[in-house]
Amino acid sequence: MNDTPQVSRIVRTAIFVSDLEKSVRFYREALGYREVYANGVLEHKVGHALIGVPEDSVIRYEIVKADELNFGMVGLFEAKPSPPSFRRENRGANLGEGCMVFFATDIHAVRDRIVELGGEVVCEPQLLAVHTLRQLEMTCRDPDGMMINIIERPTENWNADVVQ
């Protein structure tokens, strides 16, 4: 008998942003998260407690998704007054920091849109070769510094194993 509780695949990532409109535009136009799952003002005090902001904070949010599935969504939350910024020591990874990973069919076009919409390229597209896998990858940051990894892969291979 297995006592380990069942856990679903990731439902969404929640990101605190400094400018909700700018971030929504970035995720919609640079990464294709055009559908809105939910948006508005978070008024329930339990919501404030769950995300760790004072009860008197005003929290506007928009949860965006790329397709009809309610998994893999990106929740963008703007709290006023703003919580403290995550302290980054360098352009690369930092302890405790997350990185979202996305597939794209044209990494160079996505890279250009990321820069156009206020993102920062950390690593330009590079060929990664691991075992028999060969793919272009890049790393960037969104307008608030969230690290994002883009992997070029045809859509028919988006459900294939990453390492072969």
Burial class (CB in 10 A: 0-12, 13-18, 19+), 164: exposed
Specify the higher pLDDT residue, 98 or 163.
98
Q: Model confidence over 66-90: pLDDT tens digits?
A: 887 888 899 999 999 888 777 776 6
Class of the domain covering 99-157: alpha beta
Q: Model confidence over 97-139: pLDDT tens digits?
A: 889 999 999 999 999 999 999 999 999 999 998 888 889 999 9
Specify the higher pLDDT residue, 101 or 154.
101
With helix as H, strand as E and coil as C, how does the chain read?
Answer: CCCCCCCCCCCEEEEECCCHHHHHHHHHHCCCCCEEEEEEEECCHHHHHHHCCCCCCEEEEEEEECCCCCCCEEEEEEEECCCCCCCCCCCCCCCCCCEEEEEECCHHHHHHHHHHCCCEEEEEEEEEEECCEEEEEEEEECCCCCEEEEEECCHHHCCCCCCC
- Please tell me the distance from the alpha carbon of residue 86 to that of residue 94, in angstroms, as a whole number: 10
Q: Model confidence over 5-63: pLDDT tens digits?
A: 878 788 899 999 999 999 999 999 999 999 999 999 998 888 888 888 888 999 999 99
| Confidence at residue 124, expressed as pLDDT on a 0 to 100 scale | 96
Residue 164 has pLDDT above 50, yes or no: no
> Residue ranges per domain, the chain?
12-80, 99-157
| Confidence at residue 149, expressed as pLDDT on a 0 to 100 scale | 94
Q: Return the amino acid letter for 3.
A: D
